[in-house]
Amino acid sequence: MARSGVAALRLLREKGAIVRAVDEKAMGEVEGVKVEVQTSDALHGADLIVISPGVPAELEILREVRDRGIPVIGDLELAAPFLAGTNIGVTGTNGKTTTTALTGHILRESGIPCQVGGNIGTPPASMVATSLSGQFNVLELSSFQLETIKTFHATIAACLNVTQNHLDRHHTLQGYANAKARLFETQCTGDVAVLNADDPITGSFASRTAARAVWFSGTHRPTANAWLRHDNVFLDGERLLDVRDLRLRGRHNYENVMAAALIAREAGAQPSQIAQAAATFAPVEHRLELVRELNGVAYYNDSKATSVDATSKAIDAFPGGLWIILGGKDKDSDYTVLSGALRQKAKAVLLIGAAAQKIASQLADKGLPLIHSGTLAAALQQAYRSAEPGDTVLLAPACASFDQFENFEQRGRVFKELVNALATGGE
């Protein structure tokens, strides 16, 4: 009964449904509806179960109701029949928030009506009231939202990359990829699939959709519709922009720009409009966000780097001199893949949260200075005391936040508050 659950409750009541609300914990009333504790009895007599994205569809209590023939869907599938306009869906392990926000920015700057939401900001059910015919719904979509869709349909769908993530939920990389693939399996002839030509899993989705595939590539593959060469992005064979004109940094963000450019082009934006809008787009909060520079040291907040691959991309965006903060709630990840990049670029790894010991055990004997900080505040203080001019203190945890924080946004806000306190002499 968090944000998406409340949005689903409101939509169902607006459409005339008799709604019952359940949660793992007792909560009193939400929107005038008493929230019951989540038990089999609480679900008895329901005609439809709507689960929030954070609720695993394989829970025993949900298997029981499915066995009785009761459909179980997510908030995205619930909203699907009621969303007016044309849907654009963006998924991927990393970069989907930036790409979704950038796509919305380009469309708005190009005079194309749109609204942005999904896994970013506004839940799909809350977007129904503001959806209009002739308007695009630009939706960031997670594997949790996509695994339960049956009829949700995106006219333009994009997958940026698929790397190991959420194995605590999907168990295998293939299971995770299959959830992402649902976005393309519900597309039709005449739709468009925007895919990463350099990512083998993403590329395989072309064979799982009836849509026309268009491709982007960071390695100038000859079959791509958008590619990166040196410092320039090309679109359909013509130079679109110089990445040095962007406020985003890192090769992974240049790939996000290419994906957004292809999406916007398919939605009707002109290349000149795309280039001008991309140059004015500011990095999304908690995504390689420069907090400030203090005494010659730069402090970056990448709290959204909740996977090993996202952290790897964050490390790649810097030349070296990193004091990197890792840790949080483990997602059954393999942290050894970070060792090579950390050896090259990190002065120290500061470990926090529940996953600290696992990360330490996997990075031990890799020639890395590991500091057991415990908390974010302690890690920042240790980096503050030791970093030298030209260094970078980077929060890119490679873990979920739920051991010490409500979500990655709270973790990022706390980091920024701590950094800004340093600027005034605070401890």
Instruction: Supply the residues annotated as catalytic.
Output: 96, 119, 166
Alpha carbon of 260 to those of 105, 246, 388: distances in Å? 10, 14, 37
What is the C-alpha separation between 322 and 308, in angstroms, rounded?
Answer: 16
Q: Residue 79 corresponds to which tokens in the numbers above?
A: 């909203």
426: CB partners within 8 A, 6+ apart: none
- As to burial, measured by CB atoms within 10 angstroms (0-12 exposed, 13-18 middle, 19+ buried), residue 219 is exposed
What is the C-alpha separation between 198 and 196, in angstroms, rounded?
Answer: 5
CA 117 distance to own-chain centroid: 12
Q: Residue 164 corresponds to which tokens in the numbers above?
A: 């190991």
DSSP letters spanning 215-227: EEETT--TT-SEE
DSSP letters spanning 247-309: S--SHHHHHHHHHHHHHHHHTT--HHHHHHHHHTPPPPTTSSEEEEEETTEEEEE-TT--SHH
373: CB partners within 8 A, 6+ apart: 325, 350, 351, 352, 379, 382
Kindly state the DSSP code that residue 245 receives in the 8-state scheme: G
Q: Are 104 and 119 in contact (CB under 8 A)?
A: no
363: CB partners within 8 A, 6+ apart: 335, 336, 338, 339, 342, 349, 370
The CB density around residue 26, as the number of other CB atoms within 10 Å, is: 9
- As to burial, measured by CB atoms within 10 angstroms (0-12 exposed, 13-18 middle, 19+ buried), residue 87 is buried
Alpha carbon of 34 to those of 30, 42, 109, 179, 381: distances in Å? 6, 11, 43, 32, 44
